[in-house]
Homo-oligomer: A and B are copies of this chain.
Amino acid sequence: MPKISEQQKEAVRVEILNAAREVFIEKGFEAASMKEIVGRSGKSFGGVYMYYSNKEGVFLDLLRRQYVGMSQDVALPNPKSGWDTFRLFLQDQERRVKEAGNGLSPSMYEYFIVGRRDSIRRKWNEERRQAVFYSILGLIHDGVKKGEFNPSIPVDTIIHFLISFLEGIFLESIITGPEGIGIGNQFVLLEDMSRSILMPLNKEESK
């Protein structure tokens, strides 16, 4: 018979994670200290280590929850047109890009860059990448099924390109700042390109 319920455990985890998120956001992964996470969480060292076996464990739970959240957003059934859904996705990304510097993304990039040769970190990154890949794939399939999209080039390439661009503009927003890189204009251009790639028929129709 557990002494505290799963709900209570979850509540404790959330307390720890909230403290940890603050610290990781302020300091990054490496420079974040367990002492500070422990202090801000109002717990003791032993208390935190009961829930997570090390700093990396705390960080990965934070990442995992973030991506679960994101996937659920996308996974919602949607009655809109394929293109409208795709545009909503882009708008959502634009919004996220603008506040990229204030969230967990910087720590995450640091974590994956520094740990690029560590097999465990690579696996986590792979999962994250797959999640994004399949999210976009779903959007495109949706548009294709609805007869709206007729991609003129392999879908794989389109998605890889989109991911590269999105990762890049995230990174730019983080290190250069959201101002001065014309985020809005970049997304307008991205939308135009996406339209002409996914719906090349429009052009033919306009002939």
Contacts and interface: CB of A to CB of B under 8 A. Distances in A.
B157 A109 contact: no
A163 B110 CA distance: 20
Copies, count: 4
A121 to B, nearest CB: 9
A93 to B, nearest CB: 12
A161 interface: yes
Given A160-B185, A185-B156, A110 B106 contact: no
A154 B189 CA distance: 10
Contacts of A106: 113-114, 116
B171 A189 contact: no
Contacts of A163: 168, 172, 181
A125 interface: yes
Contact of A30 (B114, B156, B171): B114
A126 interface: yes
Nearest to A27: B114
Given A168-B164, A182-B157, A182-B160, A110 B114 contact: yes
Given A114-B28, A116-B101, A160 B186 contact: yes
Interface string A156-195: 1110110111111111101111000110011011100100
A139 to B, nearest CB: 18
Nearest to A168: B168
Interface string A103-141: 000100110111010000010011001000000000000
B126 A176 contact: yes
A167 B109 CA distance: 13
Nearest first, the 6 closest Cβ-Cβ pairs linking A and B are A168-B168, A167-B168, A164-B168, A164-B169, A157-B185, A112-B175
22 contacts: A30-B30, A30-B114, A31-B114, A106-B113, A106-B114, A109-B171, A110-B110, A110-B114, A113-B175, A116-B174, A122-B176, A125-B176, A153-B189, A160-B182, A164-B181, A165-B165, A166-B168, A167-B167, A167-B168, A168-B168, A168-B171, A171-B171
